[in-house]
Amino acid sequence: MVNIMTIKKAYVELVELLEANKGKKVSTILDDIIELCSSKTQGSTVIRDAEGNVIAIFCYYHKQWELLSSTPYGAKASSATGFNTMCKVGTSKWTKQQRLAKQANANILTDVAKGTIEPSDIVTLQADIEHNRKVIDQTDMPEGFASEDDLMKHLKG
Protein backbone atom coordinates (compact mmCIF):
# COMPACT_ATOMS: atom_id res chain seq x y z
CA MET A 1 0.00 0.00 0.00
CA VAL A 2 1.33 3.42 -0.97
CA ASN A 3 1.40 6.16 1.65
CA ILE A 4 -1.03 8.68 0.12
CA MET A 5 0.49 11.45 2.28
CA THR A 6 3.66 11.30 0.11
CA ILE A 7 1.81 11.54 -3.23
CA LYS A 8 1.33 14.91 -4.90
CA LYS A 9 -2.24 16.12 -4.44
CA ALA A 10 -2.93 16.07 -8.19
CA TYR A 11 -2.15 12.34 -8.40
CA VAL A 12 -3.85 10.99 -5.26
CA GLU A 13 -7.06 9.89 -7.03
CA LEU A 14 -5.06 8.25 -9.82
CA VAL A 15 -2.91 6.29 -7.35
CA GLU A 16 -6.02 5.24 -5.40
CA LEU A 17 -7.65 4.01 -8.63
CA LEU A 18 -4.54 2.05 -9.57
CA GLU A 19 -4.22 0.60 -6.05
CA ALA A 20 -7.84 -0.57 -6.15
CA ASN A 21 -7.26 -2.24 -9.53
CA LYS A 22 -3.81 -3.82 -9.10
CA GLY A 23 -4.82 -7.14 -10.59
CA LYS A 24 -6.52 -5.73 -13.68
CA LYS A 25 -5.00 -5.13 -17.10
CA VAL A 26 -4.40 -1.52 -18.02
CA SER A 27 -6.78 -1.83 -20.99
CA THR A 28 -9.71 -2.54 -18.63
CA ILE A 29 -9.22 0.63 -16.55
CA LEU A 30 -7.72 2.96 -19.18
CA ASP A 31 -11.01 4.81 -19.77
CA ASP A 32 -11.30 5.51 -16.02
CA ILE A 33 -7.71 6.76 -15.92
CA ILE A 34 -8.23 9.06 -18.91
CA GLU A 35 -11.40 10.49 -17.36
CA LEU A 36 -9.63 11.03 -14.05
CA CYS A 37 -6.68 12.76 -15.72
CA SER A 38 -8.72 14.90 -18.13
CA SER A 39 -8.85 18.62 -17.56
CA LYS A 40 -11.97 19.65 -15.72
CA THR A 41 -11.37 23.36 -15.92
CA GLN A 42 -13.55 25.61 -17.95
CA GLY A 43 -12.26 27.27 -21.09
CA SER A 44 -12.20 30.81 -19.81
CA THR A 45 -12.81 32.59 -16.55
CA VAL A 46 -13.97 35.85 -18.14
CA ILE A 47 -16.75 36.98 -20.44
CA ARG A 48 -16.11 39.93 -22.72
CA ASP A 49 -18.48 42.12 -24.67
CA ALA A 50 -18.22 42.75 -28.44
CA GLU A 51 -15.58 45.46 -27.86
CA GLY A 52 -13.43 43.11 -25.76
CA ASN A 53 -14.25 44.69 -22.37
CA VAL A 54 -14.54 42.29 -19.44
CA ILE A 55 -18.16 42.17 -18.26
CA ALA A 56 -18.12 39.06 -16.02
CA ILE A 57 -15.54 37.01 -14.13
CA PHE A 58 -15.72 33.52 -12.66
CA CYS A 59 -14.89 34.22 -9.00
CA TYR A 60 -12.23 31.78 -7.81
CA TYR A 61 -13.51 32.04 -4.23
CA HIS A 62 -17.30 31.86 -4.68
CA LYS A 63 -17.12 29.48 -7.68
CA GLN A 64 -19.72 31.47 -9.58
CA TRP A 65 -19.91 33.94 -12.45
CA GLU A 66 -20.21 37.55 -11.29
CA LEU A 67 -20.97 40.68 -13.29
CA LEU A 68 -18.44 43.49 -12.96
CA SER A 69 -21.30 45.99 -13.12
CA SER A 70 -22.70 44.73 -9.81
CA THR A 71 -19.70 43.14 -8.06
CA PRO A 72 -16.53 45.01 -7.10
CA TYR A 73 -13.27 43.47 -8.29
CA GLY A 74 -9.81 44.74 -7.49
CA ALA A 75 -7.29 45.67 -10.15
CA LYS A 76 -4.40 43.32 -10.83
CA ALA A 77 -1.80 44.61 -13.26
CA SER A 78 -0.24 41.18 -13.87
CA SER A 79 -3.56 39.68 -14.94
CA ALA A 80 -4.54 39.46 -18.62
CA THR A 81 -7.89 41.02 -17.74
CA GLY A 82 -6.54 43.70 -15.41
CA PHE A 83 -8.73 42.33 -12.62
CA ASN A 84 -8.20 39.99 -9.69
CA THR A 85 -9.53 36.42 -10.01
CA MET A 86 -11.72 36.90 -6.93
CA CYS A 87 -14.20 39.63 -6.10
CA LYS A 88 -13.26 41.95 -3.23
CA VAL A 89 -15.52 40.10 -0.77
CA GLY A 90 -14.06 36.74 -1.83
CA THR A 91 -10.49 38.05 -1.64
CA SER A 92 -11.07 39.29 1.89
CA LYS A 93 -12.61 36.01 3.04
CA TRP A 94 -9.97 33.87 1.28
CA THR A 95 -7.14 35.89 2.83
CA LYS A 96 -8.67 35.59 6.30
CA GLN A 97 -9.12 31.82 5.92
CA GLN A 98 -5.51 31.39 4.79
CA ARG A 99 -4.26 33.43 7.77
CA LEU A 100 -6.40 31.50 10.26
CA ALA A 101 -5.28 28.15 8.83
CA LYS A 102 -1.64 29.17 9.07
CA GLN A 103 -2.12 30.28 12.68
CA ALA A 104 -4.00 27.10 13.59
CA ASN A 105 -1.28 24.90 12.10
CA ALA A 106 1.37 26.83 14.01
CA ASN A 107 -0.64 26.45 17.22
CA ILE A 108 -0.66 22.66 16.85
CA LEU A 109 3.08 22.45 17.43
CA THR A 110 2.83 24.75 20.45
CA ASP A 111 -0.04 22.69 21.88
CA VAL A 112 1.90 19.43 21.43
CA ALA A 113 4.89 20.99 23.19
CA LYS A 114 2.64 22.11 26.06
CA GLY A 115 1.07 18.67 26.26
CA THR A 116 -2.47 19.97 25.64
CA ILE A 117 -2.85 17.73 22.58
CA GLU A 118 -1.37 14.36 21.71
CA PRO A 119 0.91 13.98 18.70
CA SER A 120 -1.45 11.27 17.44
CA ASP A 121 -4.16 13.96 17.06
CA ILE A 122 -2.11 16.11 14.66
CA VAL A 123 -3.38 14.51 11.43
CA THR A 124 -7.03 14.87 12.48
CA LEU A 125 -6.54 18.47 13.57
CA GLN A 126 -4.76 19.34 10.32
CA ALA A 127 -7.58 17.74 8.32
CA ASP A 128 -10.10 19.90 10.20
CA ILE A 129 -8.01 23.01 9.57
CA GLU A 130 -7.79 22.21 5.86
CA HIS A 131 -11.55 21.56 5.67
CA ASN A 132 -12.30 24.91 7.33
CA ARG A 133 -9.83 26.68 5.04
CA LYS A 134 -11.75 25.48 1.99
CA VAL A 135 -15.27 26.34 3.19
CA ILE A 136 -16.90 29.04 1.08
CA ASP A 137 -18.25 31.70 3.43
CA GLN A 138 -21.49 32.90 1.83
CA THR A 139 -21.89 35.90 4.13
CA ASP A 140 -22.12 39.01 1.92
CA MET A 141 -21.80 36.79 -1.15
CA PRO A 142 -22.53 38.80 -4.29
CA GLU A 143 -25.25 37.81 -6.72
CA GLY A 144 -23.83 35.33 -9.15
CA PHE A 145 -24.59 32.65 -11.70
CA ALA A 146 -23.78 28.96 -11.31
CA SER A 147 -22.99 28.43 -14.97
CA GLU A 148 -21.91 30.38 -18.00
CA ASP A 149 -25.24 29.45 -19.63
CA ASP A 150 -27.19 30.99 -16.72
CA LEU A 151 -25.11 34.16 -17.03
CA MET A 152 -25.67 34.38 -20.80
CA LYS A 153 -29.45 33.91 -20.35
CA HIS A 154 -29.43 36.75 -17.82
CA LEU A 155 -27.47 39.02 -20.14
CA LYS A 156 -29.83 38.34 -23.06
CA GLY A 157 -32.69 39.43 -20.95
* Percent of the chain with pLDDT strictly greater than 70: 94
Quick one: pLDDT at residue 42? 53
**CB within 8 A of 38, min separation 6: which ones?**
none
Per-residue pLDDT, averaged over 1-7, amounts to 70
**Residue closest to 150 by CA, chosen among 69, 64, 85:** 64
CB 87, CB 61: distance < 8 Å = yes
Per-residue pLDDT, averaged over 106-120, amounts to 94
Q: Is the pLDDT of residue 9 over 80?
A: no
Q: Is the pLDDT of residue 41 over 70?
A: no
Q: Is the pLDDT of residue 76 over 60?
A: yes
Q: Is the pLDDT of residue 4 over 70?
A: no
Quick one: pLDDT at residue 38? 67
**Residue closest to 65 by CA, chosen among 141, 143, 136:** 143
At 13-23, the pLDDT tens digits run 887 888 888 88
- How confident is residue 1, by pLDDT bands cut at 50, 70 and 90? low
Report the chain's mean pLDDT, rounded to a whole number: 90
pTM comes to 0.68
**CB within 8 A of 55, min separation 6: which ones?**
47, 48, 49, 67, 68, 69, 155
- How confident is residue 24, by pLDDT bands cut at 50, 70 and 90? confident
Quick one: pLDDT at residue 89? 97
